[in-house]
């Protein structure tokens, strides 16, 4: 029997919390809370170190920023909209794919969106924050896998998923071309969709790729050490006997 969170969704608005989606919600809300505490008590803005600043990535090699920016947000509404979208689209995708593939997809699209932003404005000092790049990747996947699913635009207007995705994709594309100065990282949104589409189109290339597991890495390392010790021991105790037997 499949776990309850893997059952298909009946409602067109949200669903039960799946394990990875729940963990991402907790991580994002916890990080945002820490942002507020750090800004008010320590007068420290985490965006300067962990937000995605293209200039710092290209000139100072702050490579961690292409991943850490996904967990920072610029305000309560920024956080709320991203988390609602994560819950609405991410839960069903995780139920459809499984937790490992969903996690892989989320971070590949999020990091890919960040890289697109760096390439588009490699000399920019303006930090980019928010999970929107990965969310737009989830949105693209949802529209491709469930094109006829009805969702609520602005929580009011029913619309098919394929048209919902197309609409938001065109908005991101047009805003990127027009160099909109509304403070929204439209390039990251478009990049997230692009990487989501590329991932689904070339899923076979990612099929053998696994999430790094510290436990598996340590076990493999220990196995390799034991193999080397056995080889040394065998050569020191049996090597000469084997040579005599061959003669």
Provide the 3-class DSSP secondary structure of residue 107.
helix
Per-residue pLDDT tens for 193-239?
A: 888 888 887 764 444 444 444 455 556 666 777 776 666 555 666 65
What is d(CA 162, CA 169) in angstroms, rounded to the nearest whole number?
A: 11
On whether the CB atoms of residues 62 and 128 are closer than 8 A, the answer is: no
Domain ranges of the chain: 12-206, 214-247
| CATH architecture assignment, domain 12-206 | Up-down Bundle (1.20)
Query: How would residue 243 be classed by pLDDT, with cut points 50, 70 and 90?
Result: low
**In this model, does residue 18 exceed pLDDT 50?**
yes
On whether the CB atoms of residues 67 and 107 are closer than 8 A, the answer is: yes
- Over the chain, what is the mean pLDDT? 78
What is d(CA 10, CA 16) in angstroms, rounded to the nearest whole number?
A: 11
**pTM of the predicted model as reported, rounded to 2 decimal places:** 0.72
């Amino acid at each position: 029997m499949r776990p309850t969170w893997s059952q298909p969704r009946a409602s067109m608005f949200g669903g039960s919390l799946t394990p990875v989606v729940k963990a991402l919600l907790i991580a994002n809300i916890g990080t945002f809370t820490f942002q507020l505490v750090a800004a008010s008590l320590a007068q420290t803005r985490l965006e300067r170190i962990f937000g995605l600043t293209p200039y710092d990535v290209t000139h100072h090699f702050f490579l961690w920023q292409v991943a850490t920016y996904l967990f920072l947000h610029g305000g309560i509404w920024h956080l709320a909209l991203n988390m609602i979208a994560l819950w609405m689209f991410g839960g069903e995708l995780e139920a459809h794919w499984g937790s490992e593939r969903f996690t892989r997809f989320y971070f590949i699209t999020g990091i890919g969106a960040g890289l697109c932003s760096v390439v588009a404005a490699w000399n920019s000092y303006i930090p980019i924050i928010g999970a929107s790049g990965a969310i737009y990747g989830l949105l693209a996947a949802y529209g491709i896998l469930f094109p006829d699913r009805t969702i609520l635009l602005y929580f009011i207007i029913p619309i098919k998923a394929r048209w919902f995705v197309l609409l938001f994709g065109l908005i991101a594309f047009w805003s990127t071309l027009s160099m909109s100065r509304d403070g929204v990282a439209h390039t990251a949104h478009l990049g997230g969709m692009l990487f989501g589409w590329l991932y689904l189109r070339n899923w076979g290339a990612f099929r053998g790729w696994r999430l790094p597991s510290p436990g598996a890495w340590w076990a493999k390392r220990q196995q390799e050490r034991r193999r080397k010790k056995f080889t040394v021991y065998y050569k020191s105790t049996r090597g000469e006997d084997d040579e005599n037997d061959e003669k």
